[in-house]
């Protein structure tokens, strides 16, 4: 309730006072995943704005299903978010969700917030892009990459066609590496991504090797979420149970997906003697585990930055992104990594591979986009 009241007070003041900023940052609450309970995907850009006297606002969309806490540094979007939900129901006659949110955005601008002005909007997971496009037809809208992007990525590109949520809202992507941009451009028949994507990188970490050999501890980054239907989650679960059961001399540390909401009962897995619950912090996980196991998680890239090999256990061909799109350079088993030479050669190969997908944050490129 306190976040709703704080949000209500902020937006009511905008009815009467003029506020003009260069950038509006907008993100859902479940991205507060850093140690400081902040959205790490925006940290570099926000720091750049502060250092270069670029005015900005940071809005946080409530997520009533997540376990991640609210940020103390963001402005709660609760009041407007709930108001938008009401208007979506009121405009039941408009079946197109993109047009519906654009109409709501225009209405809110005209009736309530005519005094609020901004030049740029930066979102993640394409949150509220249609609303912001309706609210400000002339502003630049940027969406920050937060996971892997492949040639049939929902909300990005399907069957060589750019998704409507991007084209109808004139959204520009901010990507973490050149290889992701190459994938989009290569599979886009319209050439939309040639002019609507920029590589600005992410973070400032450089690849560094953590291990010289396999220490018999393996991290398992789980993929059980509501994104999958029940059948898919069960297939992934059974594949994992079989894999762990056949490697009883290895300790497996299971890390839940950030959006895991008990979509599957994992009792069977945790009953196994060699299975443990991993730390929430993936950096701490890599300090403990010298191998990564997953179906198709972005943890493959994060592990590669530390020279940690991944083994992909994926029973479904539609999730073969790392083989079909990313050219993952390894196809070893756990037993192969017991060979010190194989492990060390794999580590170096992976660090060289990952840098093409996740380059360091380029402040100058970001600043040029805001001009």
Strands 171-175 and 140-144: parallel
| Whole-number Å distance between alpha carbons of 309 and 47 | 32
Place of tokens 């809202």: 169
Asked if residue 188 has pLDDT above 90, the reply is yes
Mean pLDDT across the chain: 91
Query: What pLDDT band is residue 137 in, cutting at 50, 70 and 90?
Result: very high
243-290 pLDDT, tens digit each:
988 898 999 999 887 776 676 677 888 888 899 988 888 889 999 999
Query: What pLDDT band is residue 225 in, cutting at 50, 70 and 90?
Result: low
pLDDT for 269 = 82
C-beta of residue 253 within 8 angstroms of C-beta of residue 289? yes
pTM of the model as a whole = 0.86
Most confident range (mean pLDDT) of 134-143, 257-266, 274-283, 293-302 is 134-143
Query: What pLDDT band is residue 89 in, cutting at 50, 70 and 90?
Result: very high
C-beta of residue 120 within 8 angstroms of C-beta of residue 23? yes
User: Residue 217: how many CB atoms within 10 A of its CB?
Assistant: 17
- What mean pLDDT comes out for the span 174-194? 95
Q: Nearest Cα to 353, choosing from 295, 292, 308, 296? A: 308
User: Residue 318: how many CB atoms within 10 A of its CB?
Assistant: 10
pLDDT for 282 = 87
- What mean pLDDT comes out for the span 178-192? 95
Query: What pLDDT band is residue 344 in, cutting at 50, 70 and 90?
Result: very high
253 backbone dihedrals φ, ψ, rounded to 5°: -110, 115
Strands 116-124 and 19-28: parallel
Asked if residue 72 has pLDDT above 80, the reply is yes
Most confident range (mean pLDDT) of 2-6, 45-49, 269-273 is 45-49
pLDDT for 315 = 63
pLDDT for 60 = 97
Asked if residue 33 has pLDDT above 90, the reply is no
Query: What pLDDT band is residue 320 in, cutting at 50, 70 and 90?
Result: confident
User: What's the chain's Rg over C-alpha atoms?
Assistant: 22
Cα–Cα distance list, 309 to 213, 215, 219, 299, 333 (Å)? 11, 12, 11, 10, 10
The end-to-end CA distance of the chain, in Å, is 38
- Residues of the chain with pLDDT > 70, as a percent, come to 98
Asked if residue 28 has pLDDT above 90, the reply is yes
Asked if residue 1 has pLDDT above 90, the reply is no
| Whole-number Å distance between alpha carbons of 332 and 309 | 9
- What mean pLDDT comes out for the span 95-102? 96
Query: What pLDDT band is residue 130 in, cutting at 50, 70 and 90?
Result: very high
């Amino acid at each position: 309730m306190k976040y709703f009241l704080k949000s209500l007070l902020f937006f009511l003041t905008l009815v009467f006072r003029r506020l003009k900023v260069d950038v509006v940052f907008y993100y859902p609450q479940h991205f507060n995943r850093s140690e400081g309970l902040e959205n790490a995907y925006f940290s570099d850009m926000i720091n750049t704005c502060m250092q270069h006297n670029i005015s900005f606002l940071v809005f946080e969309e409530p997520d009533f299903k997540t376990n991640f806490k609210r940020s103390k540094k963001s402005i709660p979007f609760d009041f407007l978010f709930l108001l938008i939900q009401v208007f979506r129901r009121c405009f039941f006659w408009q079946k197109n969700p993109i047009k519906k949110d654009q109409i709501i955005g225009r209405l809110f601008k005209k009736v309530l917030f005519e005094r609020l002005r901004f030049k740029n909007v930066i979102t993640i997971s394409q949150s509220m892009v249609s609303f912001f496009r309706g609210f400000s037809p002339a502003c630049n809208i940027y969406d920050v990459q937060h996971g892997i992007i492949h040639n049939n990525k929902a909300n990005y590109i399907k069957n060589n066609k750019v998704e409507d949520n991007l084209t109808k809202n004139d959204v520009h992507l901010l990507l973490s590496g050149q290889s992701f941009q190459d994938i989009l451009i290569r599979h886009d028949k319209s050439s939309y991504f040639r002019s609507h994507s920029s590589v600005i990188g992410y973070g400032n970490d450089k690849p560094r090797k953590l291990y010289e050999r396999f220490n018999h501890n393996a991290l398992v980054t789980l993929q059980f979420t509501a994104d999958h239907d029940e059948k898919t989650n069960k297939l992934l679960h059974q594949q994992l149970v079989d894999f762990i059961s056949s490697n009883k001399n290895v300790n497996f540390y299971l890390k839940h997906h950030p959006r895991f909401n008990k979509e599957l009962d994992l009792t069977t897995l945790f009953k196994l003697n060699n299975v443990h619950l991993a730390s929430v912090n993936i950096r701490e996980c890599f300090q403990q585990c010298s191998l990564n196991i997953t179906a198709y998680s972005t943890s493959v890239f994060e592990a590669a930055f530390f020279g940690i090999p991944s083994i992909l256990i994926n029973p479904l061909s539609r999730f073969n992104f790392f083989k079909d799109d990313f050219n993952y350079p390894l196809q070893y088993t756990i037993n192969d990594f017991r060979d010190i030479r194989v492990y060390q050669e794999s580590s170096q190969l992976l660090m060289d591979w990952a840098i093409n997908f996740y380059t360091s944050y380029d402040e100058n490129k970001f600043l040029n986009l805001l001009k």
